[in-house]
Structure 1
Amino acid sequence: MMTGKAEEGHTTRRRGVGWAIRAAALMIILLFGAANYLVLDYAIERADSFVAETERTLVRNEFSHQIDQVVQYQSQLSFWDKTFDELANGMPDDTFVRDQMRDWMWSDFGFSWMIFTSPDGEKVLGVHRGEKVPERKAREKLHWVSDLTRKAERAYREALSPDRGGWQVAGGKADPDLLTPALPEIHVSGMRLIDRVMSIVVVQAVIPKTLYIPASRLEPTLLITVKPVSQKMLANTERRLGVRDLGFTPIVTQEPGLLMTPVGGDTYNPMVTSWRPNMPGSFVWRWALPQIALFVLVFAGVMLFVTLRFSALVRALQRSETKNAFLARHDPLTGLKNRSGFDEEVSRAIRKGENRPFTILTLDLDRFKAVNDRHGHAAGDAVLQAVARRFSERIGRYGCVARLGGDEFSVLLTGEHSRDHMVELAASLVLDTQIPIAYDGQLLLIGGSAGIAQFPHHGKTVHDVMVMADAALYAAKNGGRNRAIHAGDMGSEEIAEAGEIRAA
């Protein structure tokens, strides 16, 4: 037997171990929290910087690629013998505008503006959305790209060298790794806000495929094309790059969480590309995992096992409890309330106030047994499910539909309802039972009868109201079936019969 001192010492040691475990657990939690804080704080800062710079590069490269595509599209008109010849005697005629600028460049490539102009601006021809516009409107647009036209003229002149009494334009540097043809380095591009839409603007002197410029044609005609950056283009770019809310923002915008970068290399553009950056992911954990692994491994195995088992048990219990609770109140075949669930709904209606009225409709299917006997129970189940679905759609959210058993249904409607409205509703439910039900390549025909009773007119208790509704249903069946009877319309004999049923 343990002495008092020994027992006291054992108790003291047990308490000491308990405190040591608590202290060790607290120390682990503190160390784990401190390590996570320090590691993640540093890692997230690094990851944010890494992601931001990566996404800026991706966005710049993507828009650079789109600008290169627009340059290629525009070159099909500006680097073309037919265009060069068309400009020999001035600006293009209406046929060229229609065939090449409207039906080709506008319809196929979506250039909203195409403007031919001489460097001094003396000769101007503008086409907006495929339609030729007055010079005044075209000159208004030239005002916003005047720096680009000057650069394009300078690039054109710098590319010229004397040749055979005329001039030769320096060709582009061929790159075998590129699928697009090399173009002369005489185009200038930029991003501008044109007609309130961010657009890619490309300016280039019109030259022939031979790159030879006769002395008489030294003065160039510049072609300015404007390709709007549509919402569809932005959405496609978002999907390719995996960014969110890609758009354009004034360069002076200061909004937390918004990344911005200039695109197009256009110093005159007041807008920058903006988007919501992705949150750092694997990079953070790859850096942080070695720092916190020592603390996690101490209790991760046990805690993981206990957590998984306990969570699985809780989930299983919750699923079982939810399923059992549903089955306790619902009919498994039709999904409607069963007798227990219906009684709860009625009791809830009574608890809301003794004087608050409600209506009960009882319904029976006619000729249902014949369907079971002739076609089997599977056909009977199909009939019950079809009728339940029709009843539910008819009643909707205005009441509760229940299957009390077999081919017996009941409906609870709360609130004040007129006799005529209830009779009309019950008659509609009866008609729902008479609609043929398709099953296994044939039509199943049944019918229905309904009884209606209202609280408190036909009884002061739920039992009394249910008995009167059943008596009205019985009267409907005796009256020839396929009809609805209101308890207030029953004769004295039928009421007496209801009284006998209530007494029983």
Structure 2
Amino acid sequence: MAIRAAALMIVLLFGAANYLVLDHAIERADSFVVETERTLVRNEFSHQIDQVVQYQSQLSFWDRSFNELAEGMPGDSFVRDQLRDWMWSDFGFSWMIFTSLDGEKILGVHRGEKVSDRKAREKLHWVSDLTRKAERAYYEALSPDRGGWQVAGAKEDPDLLTPALPEIHVSGMRLIDRVMSIVVVQAVIPKTLYIPANRREPTLLITVKPVSQKMLANSERRLGVHGLGFTPIVTEEPGLVMTPVGGDAYNPMVASWRPNMPGSFVWQSALPQIAMFVLVFAGVMLFVTMRFSTLVKALQRSEGKNAFLARHDPLTGLKNRSGFDEEVSRAISRGDNAPFAILALDLDRFKAVNDRHGHAAGDAVLLAVARRFSDRVGPRGCVARLGGDEFCILLKGAHEREGLLELANSLVLDTQVPIAYDGQLLVIGGSAGIAQFPDHGKSVHDVMVKADAALYSAKNGGRNRAVHAGDVASAEFLQPGSIRAA
């Protein structure tokens, strides 16, 4: 009762401390971590979009690009040098599309290779809202100037590390070719920001930069999060934090990740109380463990030893009669007359060894024979000592008569090899009988009787030999026990 009362008191104290301290701390820490990581993830993708805008502007905010479009779409050398060898090879833009507002003039490049106008227009379908926004932004930035048009310049900010760009670009994140990608759309303009009167209608440049696994891995390392990726906005999964990125209302995907556990914050808040209760708990449990561990281990050792001795011969370590019966019963229980073979063996002249040299010599002989039988049979079967100098072997599965005779004769030869003991060699022999299930009986009893009868025939035939039950005349089969009398 004292132990139970002490354990109950510790559990109550531990539970109260955890509830009062950890519940409040974890709730606050979880909320803090999730909101902080949401801000970090949104800022990370905003930074990546800004970088893509800067890369794209090197092509869309460029005199050479503007001049290439004077007579239509860019030529092959421009596509090769700027779109394939630069934007695709160096920056990894998977799609680059030049298009007029009406879509009549269009040039599409996918992974550095020009594609048909039809494929380019199909891709524009997925970013049509962005192209409309880019068109509006372009026209809103125009003002008359010197018989043409001037694009409003960017507001310079000395704190920015990248050059400011005219605010005529539009960006968003879309699922392009089954990969989340950053899409930037901007009218192509010259560095001077001056648009001649006959060039007022713009040509838009659409670029697509896939968000690769390497980009996500780099972001994970920078942010200290894990499992960063994209998930459909309708996903409901416990433990998954999501936030929209890119400011694109048409994007059906959101950034998702597994939030960090606020372990350090919680432990700093609760460590003093937890340490005190853990020390009390450890002291009580140490007392209980010391009192009962020795008893439990002793009981386990005793039960294990008793269970082993109940099924094994204490001298040789082989299965005893009980253990052997279990093995045979398992072989029978497989059903469908699953075949197996029984080899019954007796040692010849073993009694003479016991009488002349003593029981210690007899034990040495039994140990040597058991070891030889086990080595000979190996994983093919189960070797048992049924008592005295009687051994029995179970071989599961179907076996040919010749193979069984060869094994049994090898076992007989093993018994004939002299055994060194106390400076002398002990010589014995052996006989073996073989029977098979279901050929020689429909029950274990019948098979064992046939094996014993075959063993008896081997002894009568001069010993040191093996006999198969199929070679024994029916008149020779004896009742159980007759062999041992012989």
Q: Which bin holds the TM-score, normalised by the shorter protein?
A: 0.5 to 0.7
Aligned to 2:165: 184
Contact 2:453 2:469 (8 Å CA) reproduced: no
Query: What residue identity is the alignment partner of 2:95?
Result: W
Aligned to 1:67: 49
SS of the residue corresponding to residue 205 of structure 2 reads strand
Q: Partners of 1:93 and 1:51 in 2: how far apart?
A: 52
Aligned to 1:423: 400
Query: What residue identity is the alignment partner of 1:33?
Result: G
Aligned to 1:346: 327
Q: Partners of 2:43 and 2:458 in 1: how far apart?
A: 78
Which of 445, 461, 466 is residue 460 of structure 1 equivalent to?
445
Residues 454, 351 of structure 1: alpha-carbon distance in 2 compared, 3 angstrom cutoff: closer
Residues 28, 320 of structure 1: alpha-carbon distance in 2 compared, 3 angstrom cutoff: closer
- Residue-by-residue CA offset, 1:308-328 (whole Å, 9 max, x unaligned): 657976997799689979987
Q: Partners of 2:247 and 2:256 in 1: how far apart?
A: 15
Q: CA deviation at 1:46?
A: 1.2
Aligned to 1:227: 209
Aligned to 2:182: 200
Aligned to 1:305: 286
Matched, 1:490 2:467: no
Moved more, 271-280 or 319-328: 319-328
Q: CA deviation at 1:226?
A: 1.9
Q: Partners of 1:221 and 1:311 in 2: how far apart?
A: 85
Q: Partners of 2:87 and 2:99 in 1: how far apart?
A: 17
Q: Partners of 1:309 and 1:262 in 2: how far apart?
A: 57
Aligned to 1:92: 74
Unaligned segments of structure 1, at least 5 residues: 1-17, 332-336, 365-382, 393-399, 434-449, 480-484
Query: What residue identity is the alignment partner of 2:445?
Result: K
Contact 1:126 1:134 (8 Å CA) reproduced: yes
Matched, 1:38 2:28: no
Q: CA deviation at 1:360?
A: 2.6
Residues 289, 86 of structure 1: alpha-carbon distance in 2 compared, 3 angstrom cutoff: same
Q: Partners of 2:300 and 2:12 in 1: how far apart?
A: 37
Q: Partners of 2:458 and 2:230 in 1: how far apart?
A: 68
Contact 1:362 1:452 (8 Å CA) reproduced: yes
- Residue-by-residue CA offset, 1:350-397 (whole Å, 9 max, x unaligned): 784999665136699xxxxxxxxxxxxxxxxxx999998xx75xxxxx
Q: CA deviation at 1:191?
A: 1.1
Aligned to 1:269: 251
Contact 2:60 2:188 (8 Å CA) reproduced: yes
What count of residue pairs does the alignment treat as equivalent? 412
SS of the residue corresponding to residue 327 of structure 2 reads helix
SS of the residue corresponding to residue 445 of structure 2 reads coil
Aligned to 1:282: 264
Q: CA deviation at 1:284?
A: 2.4
Which of 225, 243, 255 is residue 226 of structure 2 equivalent to?
243
- Residue-by-residue CA offset, 1:208-231 (whole Å, 9 max, x unaligned): 7xx345654676533211234456
Q: Partners of 1:74 and 1:452 in 2: how far apart?
A: 88
Residues 323, 30 of structure 1: alpha-carbon distance in 2 compared, 3 angstrom cutoff: closer
Q: CA deviation at 1:62?
A: 3.6
- Residue-by-residue CA offset, 1:82-108 (whole Å, 9 max, x unaligned): 545533432123454456545664566
* Aligned 1:304-323 pairs, distance under 5 A: 304-306=285-287
Aligned to 1:368: none
Q: Partners of 1:223 and 1:473 in 2: how far apart?
A: 99
Contact 2:433 2:451 (8 Å CA) reproduced: no
SS of the residue corresponding to residue 115 of structure 1 reads strand
Q: Partners of 2:485 and 2:267 in 1: how far apart?
A: 76
TM-score, normalised with respect to structure 1 = 0.59
Q: Partners of 1:124 and 1:309 in 2: how far apart?
A: 84
Which of 331, 340, 350 is residue 359 of structure 1 equivalent to?
340
Query: What residue identity is the alignment partner of 2:324?
Result: D
SS of the residue corresponding to residue 349 of structure 1 reads helix
Q: Partners of 1:472 and 1:166 in 2: how far apart?
A: 120
Contact 2:65 2:188 (8 Å CA) reproduced: yes
- Residue-by-residue CA offset, 1:253-300 (whole Å, 9 max, x unaligned): 566544221111224434322344444433223223345555544x23
The RMSD of aligned alpha carbons is 5.7
Residues 263, 500 of structure 1: alpha-carbon distance in 2 compared, 3 angstrom cutoff: same
Moved more, 352-361 or 104-113: 352-361
Contact 1:238 1:246 (8 Å CA) reproduced: no
Q: Partners of 1:78 and 1:384 in 2: how far apart?
A: 88
Residues 191, 500 of structure 1: alpha-carbon distance in 2 compared, 3 angstrom cutoff: same
Q: Partners of 2:457 and 2:61 in 1: how far apart?
A: 92
Contact 1:60 1:261 (8 Å CA) reproduced: yes
Contact 2:34 2:259 (8 Å CA) reproduced: yes
Which of 32, 37, 40 is residue 55 of structure 1 equivalent to?
37
Contact 2:328 2:394 (8 Å CA) reproduced: no
* Aligned 1:384-403 pairs, distance under 5 A: 401-402=381-382
Q: Partners of 2:332 and 2:184 in 1: how far apart?
A: 77
Q: Partners of 1:486 and 1:455 in 2: how far apart?
A: 16
Q: Partners of 1:254 and 1:290 in 2: how far apart?
A: 38
Query: What residue identity is the alignment partner of 1:423?
Result: E
* Aligned 1:71-86 pairs, distance under 5 A: 71=53, 73-75=55-57, 77-78=59-60, 83-86=65-68
Contact 2:434 2:451 (8 Å CA) reproduced: no
Give 1 or 2 for the bigger CA radius of gyration. 2
Aligned to 2:424: none
